[in-house]
Amino acid sequence: MAEYPSLFGTDGIRGVANQSPLVPEMIARIGFAAIKILGRDHDGPMSVVIGRDTRLSGDMIEKALIEGMTSAGAKILLAGKVPTPAVAMLTRQAKARAGVVITASHNPFEDNGIKFFGADGYKLSDETESVISDFAQTESTRRLDRIDAIVGSVERMEQPLRRYMDFARATFPAGRSLAGLRIAVDCANGSASKSTPTVLRELGAEVHAFHVTPDGTNINRNCGSTFPEEIARQVRETAAHVGLSHDGDADRILFCDEGGEVLDGDVLLAIAGLDYLKRGALVDRTIVATVMSNFGLDETLAKAGGKVLRTSVGDRHVLSEMVKHGLNVGGEQSGHLVFRDFTTTGDGLISALQILAILTAAKIPLSKLKHCLVRYPQAQRNLLVKRKPPLAELSSVQKLISETEKSLAGRGRVLLRYSGTEPKVRLLLEGPDENEINRHADRIAAALTAEIG
């Protein structure tokens, strides 16, 4: 089969809705190709769960996927507007061959995307995505000619959101409750707008829910986990003990303590890792984090007899290492946390429940619990770019990075990478002196802006 530029990025297919590749004809081809590839060794009709977030363009993409998949003979199970992790769970529960989520996660509403899960609830491998991408772009599928005699079907699932909520709630320790806890929740006008507030209330919490009225265009707009100042405001406004903030498809979670300070994924990993170590529940005494996580996480775990295994950025890389080594706790600084004892993907609600369980057992405020992690200062810059040439070709930038690394003399690090989902370059510096690393970050950022900004 001929090779084409991959339609897939670091987290599925993503772009501006109604612009290539997210146009109906190509989406139908992608759906057709997915069924042909994933169903090659499968007897009988192949069932596929499809869910989506609250974006206006979700209807168009869903209809195009259904066209392509049913023309290849698939049986479609529609889950409607549900969190991304719900699709992974429903795929396993329904014994479907695959799951598909229509979402662009934390991106603005103009964007959308397509993520695939396998029958096991894990995201597809890079190799499988590459084969689907190539097949969707060949001449035979481009014409959308169909020679199959079997046409698929479409049906709506019974209470998919309720099934997911029951599944998530069951991961909270039996016999425990959240009674007496006041929680502010920012649902980003996304797919957790009903599920997370409902489950927290059912567990006994007093819940103040914000951004829970999606209209198709307000997802992630000045709210959610990419606007942490919003959950900080909500916590102060409601005098909440804890704040929770999702992204649009609810596979991320950030916390906020009672004083209005936001806790990112590194703090949550430290809290979870130490608790699991204390209970003897952390497999191989190891958590998985990415190269973006603060080095303070390594030191925190090491002092308690644990360790951190580092991966490239992206929850799929975290999960890959977790599966490879049989590990059960991992995540990213961004708030993608994975508790493999319960689920197969990043799950904002299940992750929140695990941290809340630790908090309620500790019987101390979150503002004290968070001090388990002592951070190295970090400086981050996320810059819009016009193009993405190889970073090694940016001579002036590379010169500054080399000078910075020499200045840090082994006491810190510089990480520079392109975003896999947005037209951005991401710069991270870490070291013992905050003023020093911010000075270096500003110099490198200015050089990046001059070359590709």
Q: Give pLDDT tens digits for 215-259.
A: 999 999 999 999 999 999 999 999 999 999 999 999 999 999 999
Give span(s): CATH 3.40.120.10, the chain.
Answer: 13-158, 163-261, 263-347+359-372
Residue 360: the pLDDT is 97
For residue 345, name the pLDDT band (cuts at 50, 70, 90).
Answer: very high
Residue 362: the pLDDT is 96
Active site residue 133: no
Q: How high is the mean pLDDT of the chain?
A: 94
Mean pLDDT of 318-328: 96
The structural architecture, per CATH, of the domain 263-347+359-372 is: 3-Layer(aba) Sandwich (3.40)
Give span(s): CATH 3.30.310.50, the chain.
Answer: 378-452
Residue 137: the pLDDT is 92
- Give the tokens for residue 117: 């899960």
- Give the tokens for residue 96: 């479907």
Instruction: Find out if CATH 3.40.640.10 is the number for domain 378-452.
Output: no
Residue 2 has pLDDT above 80, yes or no: no
Distance, in Å, from the CA atom of 429 to the CA atom of 406, rounded to the nearest integer, reads: 13
> For residue 257, what are the CA distances in angstroms to 184, 220, 272?
10, 21, 16
Residue 139: the pLDDT is 60
Is omega for the bond preceding 432 within 30 degrees of 0, making it cis?
A: no
Characterise 211 by phi-psi region: left (phi > 0), alpha (psi -120 to 50), beta (else). Answer: left
| Active-site pick, 47, 105, 195, 320 | 105
Mean pLDDT of 168-175: 97
- Between 292 and 318, the more confident residue is 318
Mean pLDDT of 128-149: 74
Residue 1: the pLDDT is 46
Mean pLDDT of 382-411: 91
Residue 276 has pLDDT above 80, yes or no: yes
Q: Give pLDDT tens digits for 367-391.
A: 999 999 988 898 999 999 999 999 9
- Give the tokens for residue 193: 């707008």
Distance, in Å, from the CA atom of 373 to the CA atom of 370, rounded to the nearest integer, reads: 6
Distance, in Å, from the CA atom of 225 to the CA atom of 246, rounded to the nearest integer, reads: 5
Residue 145 has pLDDT above 80, yes or no: no
Within 10 angstroms of residue 312's Cβ, the number of other Cβ atoms is 14
- Give the tokens for residue 62: 């869903």
Q: Which CATH code fits 163-261?
A: 3.40.120.10
Q: Which of 80-84, 141-145, 316-320, 436-440 has the lowest mean pLDDT?
A: 141-145
Domain 13-158 in CATH: superfamily?
Alpha-D-Glucose-1,6-Bisphosphate, subunit A, domain 3 (3.40.120.10)
